[in-house]
Amino acid sequence: MNHTLCRLDYGRSPLTFPKVNSYTRSGKNGRLIICPHCDECLRVFHFSWSSLECEYCKKSTNKYDFEVFILGDYHDRQGKLVKRGWE
């Protein structure tokens, strides 16, 4: 199994991403979500589910506890910009 850690750490505290909410959409290519237990990425193609079992850590998690992996500006927990896109 190819493990990909989504939560990058640049020598600072872990990055934060927005949580899944009722407005989250997957789009035609799916959306990467981050497991809150193991920080692995999962690709989903719809959000019509209430909980999901992570394929890596095998823990069942409520939909609204997952975080959405998005491209753009990433900030650490103190709000400091650490990464801009895929630079």
- State the Cα–Cα distance between residues 25 and 39, nearest whole angstrom: 20
Confidence of residue 70 (pLDDT cuts 50, 70, 90): confident
Dump strand ranges (E) for the chain: 31-34, 41-44, 51-53, 60-62, 67-68, 73-75, 81-84
Is residue 87 over pLDDT 50? no
Looking at residue 49, what is its pLDDT?
95
Confidence of residue 18 (pLDDT cuts 50, 70, 90): confident
Amino acid code (one letter) for 5: L
- Tell me whether residue 86 is in a domain: no
- Give the tens place of pLDDT for each residue, 25-38: 988 888 889 999 98
What total of structural domains would you count in the chain? Answer: 1
- Tell me whether residue 60 is in a domain: yes
Is residue 83 over pLDDT 80? no
Question: What stretch of H or E contains 76?
Answer: none
Q: Which domain holds residue 16?
A: 1-80
- Tell me whether residue 26 is in a domain: yes
Confidence of residue 39 (pLDDT cuts 50, 70, 90): confident
- Tell me whether residue 85 is in a domain: no
- State the Cα–Cα distance between residues 35 and 75, nearest whole angstrom: 18
Residue 62 token pair: 């409520």
